[in-house]
A and B are shown apart, each in its own frame.
Chain A
Amino acid sequence: MWNLIVRHLNDLVAVALFVIGFADLLFQKNMIKKVIGLNVMDSSIYLLLASQGYITGRKAPIITDGVMSAEYYINPIPSGLVLTGIVVSVSVTALLLSMTIRMYKKYHSLDLDYCLMMARGEG
């Protein structure tokens, strides 16, 4: 069991971060804290992808000393996928935060429950 956990440590930490972010989304009422939770979830995905691409004892995929053998470098594809993830997460965060600003301007509160109640009362 212990051996299994050590071999999958990165994966398990990624899962733990994901669940922490998810619980944050469930428990927090404050919109900014919810956005922080979403970002923690994003980071867990980067950790998962980056550790899937890693190969023990190999170098980063930048050609050094003219060695062009695939036996010498780690897998470059997950690195590219992490880049895509970061860009999307930045965009989503900016969008959510600007929506939060709009919400605050209308209801003078960051509490999502309170704002939803006010919105229902208006409608």
Chain B
Amino acid sequence: MKAEREKNDPKTIISGKISGKLKAVYRVSAVVLAVLLFFMLATVMIGMPDIGNKNNPDNNEVAKRYIENGLEETGAVNIVSGMILDYRAFDTFGESCVLFAATICVMIMLRIDGQTKEDDEEAKKVTFGIRESAFSLIDSRNYEPENDSILKKSALLVVPLILVFGIYVVLNGHISPGGGFSGGAILGAGLILFLSAFGFSATEKFMNAKTVKITTLVSLLIYCLAKSYSFFTGANHIESVIPLGTPGAILSSGLILVLNICVGLVVACTMYSFYALVRRGRI
């Protein structure tokens, strides 16, 4: 179908002869450029310090300080967690905001307001480009697999496990590998599996545009209030009134647990809304 369109397009016919040569030149120069880039970067890499050497310049006093004083100052057993959510909490706040901004941008581009008859007609024409196919996926946005019993049964088994594991990873972010980002991604994956098994009619009961918006905004606000007070106090880091607790206990390490939960909620909502927006243009 595409070839037909291209054949009928007068521009292709005229520029066909020129573009043939141009394409060959482009391909050759692209290969040359890629090979050149490989050798350039490889030369630089050969000159870098050896991998795994403890005297490398990046293993400096900053890393030493994070490891040796991290447990006392942040209360987190997982040093990376303590680093990204205490010493460098603003960085992580920026990351969460990047995710939020990405959700908003995807929503601006893909959101479809209401389901009018014209929308459906448009969808019939556009969806997957299969216009006159016998089994066209007409209006795939509202297509829900009703009778897929294998998917439904296995989702019933697996989704609770995935969600529990995601919550475990989020809540144990400060005492074991994991944290808000990885746990949030696991939660989002569980929600997406649930959505593909049971359809939007099931997920709409607890995940709609309003829930996603409120959860994300409240999480970001809590994060912002918990960490950016030092801006308003002239960048003086006041002693936290929240006790650090025993290292290794689940209720320990001050604000890191709260921040992990906030980040996890933001990430889960983002993953879910990406999927929902791409699939039907609406959360």
Q: Which residues from chain A sit less than 8 Å from chain B, CB to CB? A: 4, 7-12, 14-16, 18-19, 22-23, 26-27, 51-58, 60-63, 68-71, 73, 75-80, 83-84, 86-88, 90-92, 94-95, 97-99, 101-102, 104-105, 108-109, 111, 114, 117, 121
Contacts and interface: CB of A to CB of B under 8 A. Distances in A.
B80 interface: yes
Contacts of A99: 109
Interface string B54-68: 101011001110111
Contacts of B33: 26
Contacts of A9: 51
Contact of B54 (A52, A55, A102): A55
A95 B71 CA distance: 38
B34 A63 contact: no
A16 B41 CA distance: 9
Nearest to A13: B45
A52 B79 contact: no
Interface of B: 2, 6, 9, 11-12, 27, 30-31, 33-34, 37-38, 41-42, 45-46, 48, 50-54, 56, 58-59, 62-64, 66-68, 71, 77-80, 83-84, 88, 91, 95, 98-99, 101-102, 105-106, 109-110, 126, 129, 176-177, 181, 247, 274, 277-278
A68 B91 CA distance: 25
Given A15-B41, A94-B102, A102-B109, A114 B2 contact: yes
Q: Is the interface of A mostly helix, strand, loop or mixed?
A: helix
Contacts of B84: 80, 83
A63 B71 CA distance: 8
B4 to A, nearest CB: 12
B7 to A, nearest CB: 12
A83 to B, nearest CB: 6
A76 B79 contact: yes
A71 B58 CA distance: 14
A61 B50 contact: no
B181 A63 contact: no
Nearest to A9: B51
Contacts of B78: 61-63
Given A4-B46, A55-B53, 20 more contacts: A11-B46, A12-B45, A15-B45, A16-B38, A23-B34, A27-B27, A51-B51, A52-B56, A55-B59, A61-B67, A62-B78, A62-B176, A63-B71, A70-B68, A77-B66, A80-B80, A91-B101, A92-B102, A98-B109, A101-B110
